[in-house]
Amino acid sequence: MQLIRHPQSPLLYPNPLHRWESVNVFNCAVIEHNGLFHMHYRAQGVDFISRVGYAVSVDGLHWNRLENPVLSPHNGREDYRGVEDPRVTPLDGVFYMCYTAYGANGNYPMIARSQNLITWEDVAPLEKTENKDHVLFPEKIGGRYAIFHRRRPHIWVAYSDDLINWTDHTIIMSPREDSTWDSKSIGANGVPIKTEHGWLLFYHGYGAEHIYRQSVALLDLENPAKVLHRPTEFIMEPTETWEIRGDVPNVIFSCANIVVGDELRFYYAGADRLIGLATAPFADVVEFARHGK
C-alpha cells in the first residue's frame, strides 16, 4: 500500500516576514487536544539556526501560527546550532516534547515538558551523546516510561522511572542489508500508536541512494523490543518536486502520525523545506503492517 497525498498539501510554507522561519519549515509534531490540532514544527531563517514554532488548527489543514518560536536554543554551546525535530507526547495530563539539541557536541536528545503546549521547560537529556529520533510512548509500559531513540544506525528502546535515568537500552530494529531502501540507517517517526495487534511504529530509512522513505512495523504491547511484523516494502517515498528538490533533496521525514476518526494522518516534511500531509484508512495501514511483504 501507499499513503495518499492530501490535495491541499503542502500545508505550511516558510514565512518571509519572520526572520526565524523565512527559509524552511519542516519536521513537525502534531497532536489533537481539546478539539484542536496543535503543531510544533522545526523552522530555519536567515541564520539557519533551527527553532521550534507553534501553530493551531480546527481541521488539521489550515493553520494559524504564533509570531515567535516557542523553543529556541537556550543552553549555550550545547544547542547553539539549533533545537530540532520535535515529537510531542501527551501523557498523564502533561505534554512531553522530545527534541534534538544541535551544538558543539553534535546531536543529543533532550526531553522537555509543558502544561499548555506553549511554555516548555527541560526535564533532562536522554543521554549526552550522538543520538536523535527519540519519541516517548503515550503510556507507561510495566510501570515505567518507555522511549524509542536512534544510536546510529539502529532503533533502540529504553526505560525510565523518572525521565532522567534511562536503562535497559535494547536494539529493536536494524537496517536490512538485503533491502534496497533501508539498508544503511533507520529511525523512529512519531508517537507509536497502540492497536489490538501491537504498537504500530512508523519509521524512516535510507539505503545506498540516500533517499528517505517511510514504512511501519508492529511491536509487542508488553515488550516493544519484540518485533511482530515488519513489511519489506515502504509506504511512501519522495515523488513530488517539492519532496525531491529542497534544502536536503530526496527526503520524506515525519515526526507525526495520528489517527483522526478512521483515518491515518501522516504529517511530513519534503526535502527539509515544506510541510505536507498524506492519509490512508487506518485499518488498511494496520492490515499492511500485519501482512505486508
- Topology (CATH) of 4-291: Tachylectin-2; Chain A (2.115.10)
Residue 254 pLDDT: 98
Percent of the chain with pLDDT over 70: 100
* Tens digits of residue pLDDT in 126-157: 999 999 999 999 999 999 999 999 999 999 99
Residue 131 pLDDT: 97
Would you say 111 and 122 are in contact if contact means Cβ atoms under 8 Å apart?
Answer: yes
Residue 292 pLDDT: 80
Residue 105 has pLDDT above 90, yes or no: no
Residue 113 pLDDT: 98
Q: Where are the domains of the chain?
A: 4-291
Which amino acid is located at 146 in the chain? A
Map the chain to HEC letters: CCCEECCCCCCECCCCCCHHHCCEEEEEEEEEECCEEEEEEEEECCCCCEEEEEEEECCCCCCEECCCCCECCCCHHHCCCEEEEEEEEEECCEEEEEEEEEECCEEEEEEEEECCCCCCEEEEECCCCCCEEEEECCCCECCEEEEEEECCCCEEEEEECCCCCEEEEEEEECCCCCCCCCCCEEEECCCCEEECCEEEEEEEEECCCCCEEEEEEEECCCCCCCEEECCCCCCECCCCHHHHCCCCCCEEEEEEEEEECCEEEEEEEECCCEEEEEEEEHHHHHHHHHHCC
Percent of the chain with pLDDT over 90: 98
Q: List the Cα angle 189/4/180 in 5-degree steps.
A: 60
Torsion of CA 204, 152, 166, 98, to 10 degrees: -40
Distance CA 53, CA 141 (A): 31
* Tens digits of residue pLDDT in 68-93: 999 999 999 999 999 999 999 999 99
Residue 293 has pLDDT above 80, yes or no: no
Residue 4 pLDDT: 98
